[in-house]
Amino acid sequence: MSEQPGQGDSGVGTSGRPDLSKRPDPNERTETPGRAELPERGGNQPSPWRPPGQGQGPRPVERLGWRALWLGAGAILITLFFFPVGLILGIAALVVGIKARRSARRQHSVAPGAIAGLVLGGIALAFSTFSLGLTMFLWPELSGYQTCVGKANTSTDEKACRDDYYPKIEKKLNLPEGSMSKYGNLF
């Protein structure tokens, strides 16, 4: 049987109407154009795609990403004032950020703010860890200095505490003599 002109693989006959003799086989599996890269969904998994205009607010993956960002920013801010809480918030920002990135990758979605939360949480964690280590290293000198200043009644007594403990801190940190006089108010 020969093909008539105008009747090819397009499935449209010469009259412009569809050729009904070339119907697709219902048992044959065809791919939807543009959706071939999505994994097969089975069971009752939620769809990673939703039509525009449906649903209210951000998806859970997006919320996790934003939560990581807020935790990271809060960790940086609090670390400047009270580093133990900054340490905890930094760890939380890292955990939530990693969780958001994994969920986004699994659902072929995005997690806005997750990477920024990871970076800020990592910085806060590093700074808090450094502060905690330095405090533990200088604990005898710092606690002795705070006790001495707490018992001081006059500015002369406070100066005596500085004269006693600042050289000990300088020696332990290998700082030049007299450098604590410039930055001693930080303690």
pTM value > 0.85: no
pLDDT tens per residue, range 92-131: 999 999 999 998 888 888 888 899 999 999 999 999 999 9
* Average pLDDT for runs of 10 along the chain of length 187: 52 58 61 54 55 58 88 94 93 94 88 92 95 93 91 90 89 85 67
pLDDT score recorded for residue 122: 95
CA–CA separation, 139 and 113 (whole Å): 37
143 Cα distance to chain centroid: 35
- Tell me the H-state helices in 19-178: 60-81, 83-106, 114-137, 139-151, 155-173
CA–CA separation, 26 and 49 (whole Å): 26
CA–CA separation, 7 and 126 (whole Å): 71
